[in-house]
């Protein structure tokens, strides 16, 4: 069962070869058996999952509508609301916060028969690149238990890689779906900004945040996007576009496809990462893909732009966590000021405090023009640079990560950790779709990823051609040896 795709699992259910209850039990048993080694889940939702599975079995028995995602187990990053379940955001601050509504994502998934099996671990408030900044525990990489799973959506990526669930969801603010997906040899997708509703996602950087799926293959991503890529009136940034069809008319060749590569930006790549990327490009060239050099030199400023704007937005978004309206209130507080100060001191972790301070600084009087407004101008130039590049090519490609997964605790310097986002943040800055597919392993058998960007709204074309790239590489179905067991 664990070797099957989400689509295959659904089809077995629809053909009545296996029940939703059996599917649910199977994956919950794998979680119980293996998650103690990985720490993917903050909360496993057994009762909710079995209730939904029973409902699906009864509907199928009565030949009623069961949905496009019928019986597919799905894990949700714990910064998205599920009615009556705790939403911790990986923080001590919210260990007592029970959601009072469903996120639009959860509503859409459950309407189509998905079974939500758990809430996955993350860097606190989605701020991190390793899943070490969770207030509860670090999530380990299924390919090497000494290494990080990536972040901030490390729990979902590791769970999919270890086949504890066929589909996981993360939020991608600066690469938080794609970077852990690459570290764990899975497929991770960041849709066009506004393509998937953010209603019910706890905000980090509102102009960057985008919910995205993680799966073992691109066709499962396509199936999911047919369900969740829907306009939401509750989200003012949600695009008013019809649902699109991803699985029909899938391409079978790369005829007339051009991929642009910003070779100048990639000059500082580590040798193993560069070799892996060059090997991937050579494979695609043999399949008649046209490779062209594109001028995206402005990408060297993207990391600075991202950490100025994102932290500014984070400092505003996290102001709501004051010990009064949401989360835990300090028991030591005696005055109103102490409620604010001590609740945040006790509730927030080091990285969250660091980003709030940085964001407050760049928004402060005297620095707003010098940093924040200048960063917004460079953001506009980045959008224009991508538009110009896409005039000459269908996609832009680069590695997903500057290195393979690193050992837990090995990176102490925050700046070095921020550099993990070097190749992923451009997509968030430009509000364009991006996807990573597995592209092999380094000499230590740690996974690496191949990343593709497309123009805004070209989600269908990007996912479809990513599936063709994946089939060409023939790597996505590999399973970490420790978890390649029933």
Residues belonging to the active site = 77, 152, 176
Q: Which residue from 147, 207, 181 is spatially nearest to 429, judged by alpha carbons?
A: 207
Tokens representing 177?
A: 């779906």
Q: Which residue from 377, 434, 323, 357 is spatially nearest to 127, judged by alpha carbons?
A: 357
Place of tokens 């590695």: 399
Q: What are phi and psi of 440, to 5 degrees?
A: 125, -160
Q: Which residues contact 19 (CB under 8 A, 6 or more apart)?
A: 13, 53, 57
Q: Is the dihedral of CA 155, 159, 161, 166 positive or negative?
A: negative
Asked if 436 and 451 touch (Cβ cutoff 8 Å), the reply is yes
Q: Which residue from 137, 136, 202 is spatially nearest to 173, judged by alpha carbons?
A: 202
SS in 3 state form for the chain? CCCCCHHHHHHHHHCCCCCHHHHHHHHHHHHHHHHHHHCCEEEECHHHHHHHHHHHHHHHHCCCCCCCCCCCEEEEECCECCCCCECCCCCHHHCCCECCCCCHHHHHHHHCCCEEEEEECCCHHHCCCCCCCCCCCCCEECCEEEEECCCCCHHHHHHHHCCCCCEEEEECCCCCCHHHHHHCCCEEEECCCCCCCCCCECCCCCCCCCEEEEECCHHHHHHHHHHHCCCCCCCCCCCCCCCCCCCCCCCCCCCCCEEEECHHHHCCCCHHHHHHHHHHHHHHHHCCCEEEECCCHHHHHHHHHHHHHHHHHHHHHHHHCCCCCCCCCCCCCCCHHHHHHHHHHHHCCHHHHHHHHHHHHHHCCCCHHHHHHHHHHHHHHHHHHHHHHHCCCCEEEEECCCCCCCECCCCCCHHHHHHHHCCCHHHHHHCCCEEEEEEEECCCCCEEEEEEECCCCCHHHHHHHHHHHHHHHCCCCCCCHHHCCC
């Amino acid at each position: 069962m664990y070797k099957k795709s989400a689509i295959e699992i659904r089809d077995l259910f629809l053909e009545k070869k296996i029940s939703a209850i059996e599917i649910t039990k199977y994956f919950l048993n794998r979680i119980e058996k293996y998650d103690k080694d990985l720490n993917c889940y903050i909360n496993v939702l057994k009762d909710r999952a079995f209730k939904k599975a029973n409902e699906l079995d009864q509907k199928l028995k009565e030949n009623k509508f069961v949905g496009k995602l019928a019986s597919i187990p799905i894990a949700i990053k714990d910064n998205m609301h599920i009615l009556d379940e705790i939403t911790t955001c990986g923080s001590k601050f919210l260990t007592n916060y029970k959601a009072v509504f469903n996120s639009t994502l959860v509503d859409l998934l459950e309407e189509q028969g998905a079974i939500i099996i758990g809430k996955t671990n993350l860097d606190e408030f989605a701020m991190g690149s390793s899943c070490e900044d969770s207030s509860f525990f670090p999530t380990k990489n299924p390919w090497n238990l000494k290494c990080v799973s990536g972040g901030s959506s490390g729990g979902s990526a590791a769970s999919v890689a270890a086949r504890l669930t066929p589909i996981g969801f993360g939020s991608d603010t600066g690469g938080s779906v794609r970077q852990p997906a690459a570290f764990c040899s899975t497929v991770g997708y960041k849709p066009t900004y506004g393509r998937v509703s953010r209603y019910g996602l706890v905000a980090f950087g509102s102009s960057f945040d985008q919910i995205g799926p993680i799966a073992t293959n691109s066709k499962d991503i396509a199936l999911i996007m047919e369900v969740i890529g829907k306009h939401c009136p509750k989200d003012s940034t949600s695009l008013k576009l019809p649902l699109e069809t991803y699985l029909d008319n899938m391409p079978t060749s790369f005829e007339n496809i051009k991929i642009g590569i910003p070779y100048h930006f990639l000059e500082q790549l580590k040798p193993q990462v560069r070799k892996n990327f060059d090997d991937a490009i050579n494979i695609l060239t043999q399949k008649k893909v046209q490779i062209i050099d594109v001028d995206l030199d402005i990408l060297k400023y993207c990391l600075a732009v991202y950490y100025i704007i994102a932290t500014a937005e984070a400092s505003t978004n996290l102001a709501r966590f004051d010990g009064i309206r949401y989360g835990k209130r300090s028991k030591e507080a005696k005055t109103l000021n102490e409620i604010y100060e001590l609740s945040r001191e006790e509730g927030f972790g080091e990285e969250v405090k660091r980003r709030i301070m940085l964001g407050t600084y760049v928004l402060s009087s005297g620095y707003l023009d010098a940093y924040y407004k200048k960063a917004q101008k460079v953001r506009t130039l980045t959008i224009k640079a991508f538009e110009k590049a896409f005039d000459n090519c269908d996609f832009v490609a680069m590695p997903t990560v500057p290195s393979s997964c690193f050992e837990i605790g090995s990176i102490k310097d925050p700046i070095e950790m921020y550099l993990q986002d070097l190749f992923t943040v451009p997509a968030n800055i430009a509000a364009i779709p991006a996807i990573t597919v597995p592209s092999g392993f380094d000499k230590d058998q740690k996974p690496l990823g191949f990343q593709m960007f497309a123009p805004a709204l070209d989600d269908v074309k990007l996912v479809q051609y990513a599936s063709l790239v994946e089939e060409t590489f023939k790597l996505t179905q590999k399973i970490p040896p420790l978890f390649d067991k029933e």
